[in-house]
């Protein structure tokens, strides 16, 4: 049976998925994305070259791989070509022979970006802290049945008519918030040539992927954002507007659910979050300096927006929730080396609300804001683990920390990342992840 593995961040994103997908991609024939757009930011370090990807799957760095942008994605065509051009300058070719864009994916148009601004302004103190890339408004149009899909944009009359119709409403909102209304002709003139340039990349990716699976080709499905940003199961309303979880992979690619053979969670040894929203284990007040130390050591600044990420302790309660929701078969634990400097490390093993210990992850953001985390404190190792490739070479306290996390989330750890480079990695050969790497 062909291997179809979904890779998804277990926390609020930026778990270091780029490196892991890059490592796995070598062993897979096809790499696909199923949701989100250029709000994502995956960094991949290969030797002294650094690649930042927003829209394209990380598999693009491997020349022989086919990359798919699935129907569940929202695609800003200008961003697509800017990324393609940036990669070309780094020697990576993005051609229709190896990049397929779903005809059913939705387009992000200039008014979506403008609406992202007005929507945040309207929310005031309750704002989400979005990436302001127009992601939410594009998904709103999709659900509202007025979106413009990639294939629609190829028919000039359809494109023009939809832009005109959608702008009537969009401009009303933009003007109400003292924004600059957009002109339909200008939007059309901007988008139509890009759609034409996109034409050779457009395909029925559902059919392509199911056929690839039938033919025994292996497929890596790459999530963006992460579990706790899922529109249904995340910390609503402080979420992104798509289904980020493993279940979303079937919808967002059209691959039948039974085709998926495994789910890998990406878990970082601490937690971060960008934008607003509840974050129970955030390092605040007394721990702000520690948060700053982790931010610097882990280079925790947004790859898409440059925003400093909020840092916090590992949240095993939230990660257990993510493991149940996605059905992780294995976990890749990233950024172990970032904790090298710490003398003590806290892990949140449970949540208390109003003095009561919770059994399940709260559905209400306001409750999440009032959570008192239950912490266990583990000893640090204060030795460099950078570049370690054998688990037996880790200091005993680091090994104990990893084993503790695995027990606390109830999933095996199949890989430990000890630095940004491909070879700064410990692979546990007799794990599910180890077997996927050997496939």
Residues taking part in catalysis? 14, 42
133-141, 148-156, 160-168, 170-178 -> range binding ligand IMP (CB under 6 A): 133-141
Piece in contact with ligand IMP (CB under 6 A), picked from 39-47, 188-196, 293-301, 373-381: 39-47
Q: Among residues 30, 105, 114, 128, which is the contact residue for ligand IMP, using CB under 6 A?
A: 128
Shortest CA distance to 38 belongs to which of 178, 168, 132? Answer: 132
Q: Which residue is nearest to ligand IMP (CB)?
A: 275
Q: Can residue 40 be called a binding residue for ligand IMP (CB under 6 A)?
A: yes
Q: How big is the CA angle at 181 (ends 108 and 140), to the nearest 5 degrees?
A: 35
Using CB under 6 A, pick the residue from 56, 84, 135, 433 that binds ligand IMP: 135
Residues with Cβ within 8 Å of residue 231, at least 6 apart in sequence: 139, 239, 240, 241, 242, 243, 244
Closer CB to ligand IMP, 98 or 133, in the complex: 133
> Which DSSP symbol is given to 337?
G
Binding-site size, ligand IMP (CB under 6 A): 21
245 binds ligand IMP (CB under 6 A): no
Q: Which of 3, 131, 326, 424 binds ligand IMP (CB under 6 A)?
A: 131
Kindly state whether residue 227 participates in binding ligand IMP, applying the rule CB under 6 A. no
Considering only 130, 261, 269, 330, the residue that binds ligand IMP (CB under 6 A) is 130
Tokens describing residue 300: 């925790």
Smallest gap from Cβ 394 to ligand IMP, in A, equals: 28
d(CA 99, CA 61): 12
Are 387 and 397 a contacting pair, CB within 8 Å?
no
Which of residues 131 and 253 has its CB atom nearest to ligand IMP in the complex?
A: 131
Nearest-angstrom CA–CA distance, 257 and 279: 32
Q: Which stretch binds ligand IMP (CB under 6 A): 67-75, 125-133, 257-265, 375-383?
A: 125-133
Which DSSP helix (H) or strand (E) runs through 406? helix 396-409
If the CB atoms of residues 36 and 414 are measured against ligand IMP, the closer one turns out to be 36
- The Cα–Cα gap between 360 and 368 comes to 12
Whether 294 and 331 have beta carbons less than 8 Å apart is answered as: no
Q: Side-chain half-sphere of 98: how many Cα atoms within 13 Å?
A: 19
20 binds ligand IMP (CB under 6 A): no
Contact pattern from residue 277 through residue 316 relative to ligand IMP, giving x for each residue in contact according to CB under 6 A and a dash for the rest:
x---------------------------------------
129 binds ligand IMP (CB under 6 A): yes
φ, ψ (nearest 5 deg) of residue 4: -130, 105
What residues numbered 155-214 form the site for ligand IMP, per CB under 6 A?
none
- At 388, list the tokens: 């370690």
Residue with tokens 């918030």: 177
- Cα distance between residue 264 and residue 23, in whole Å: 13
Residue with token string 């149009």? 141
Positions in the binding site for ligand IMP (CB under 6 A): 13-14, 39-41, 128-131, 133, 135-136, 224-225, 229, 238, 240-241, 274-275, 277
């Amino acid at each position: 049976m062909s291997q179809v593995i979904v890779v998804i961040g277990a926390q609020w994103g930026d778990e270091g998925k780029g490196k892991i997908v890059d490592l796995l991609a070598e062993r897979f024939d096809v790499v696909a994305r199923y949701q989100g757009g250029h709000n994502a930011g995956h960094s991949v370090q290969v030797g002294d070259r650094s690649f930042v990807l927003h829209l394209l799957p990380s598999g693009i760095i491997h020349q022989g791989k086919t990359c798919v942008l699935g129907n569940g994605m929202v695609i800003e065509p200008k961003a697509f070509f800017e990324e393609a051009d940036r990669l070309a300058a780094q020697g990576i070719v993005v051609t229709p022979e190896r990049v397929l864009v779903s005809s059913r994916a939705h387009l992000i148009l200039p008014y979506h970006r403008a609406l992202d601004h007005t929507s945040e302004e309207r929310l005031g103190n309750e704002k989400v802290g979005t990436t302001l890339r127009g992601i939410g408004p594009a998904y709103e149009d999709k659900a509202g049945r007025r979106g413009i899909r990639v294939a629609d944009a190829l028919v000039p009359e359809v494109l023009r008519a939809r832009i005109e119709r959608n702008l009537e409403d969009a401009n009303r909102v933009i003007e109400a918030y003292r924004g600059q209304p957009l002109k339909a002709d200008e939007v059309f003139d901007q988008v139509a040539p890009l759609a034409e340039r996109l034409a050779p990349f457009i395909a029925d990716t559902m059919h392509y992927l199911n056929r690839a699976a039938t033919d025994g080709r292996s497929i890596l499905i790459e999530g963006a954002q992460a579990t706790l940003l899922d529109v249904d199961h995340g910390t609503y309303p402080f979420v992104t507007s798509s289904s980020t979880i493993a279940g979303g992979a079937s919808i967002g690619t059209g691959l039948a659910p039974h085709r998926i053979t495994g789910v890998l969670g990406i878990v970082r040894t601490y937690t971060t979050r960008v934008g607003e929203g509840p974050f129970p284990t955030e390092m605040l007040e007394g721990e702000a300096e520690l948060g700053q130390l982790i931010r610097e050591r882990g280079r925790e600044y947004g790859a898409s927006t440059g925003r400093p990420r909020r840092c916090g302790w590992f949240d095993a309660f939230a990660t257990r929730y993510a493991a149940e929701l996605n059905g992780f078969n294995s976990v890749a634990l990233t950024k172990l080396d970032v904790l090298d400097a710490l003398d003590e490390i806290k892990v949140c093993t449970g949540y208390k609300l109003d003095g009561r210990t919770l059994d399940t992850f709260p559905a209400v953001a306001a409750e999440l804001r009032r959570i008192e985390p239950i912490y266990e404190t583990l000893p640090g190792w204060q030795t460099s683990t950078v570049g370690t490739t054998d688990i037996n070479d880790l200091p005993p306290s680091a090994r104990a920390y990893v084993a503790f996390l695995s027990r606390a989330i109830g999933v095996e750890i199949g890989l430990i990342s000890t630095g940004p480079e491909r070879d700064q990695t410990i692979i546990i050969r007799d794990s599910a992840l180890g077997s996927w790497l050997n496939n």
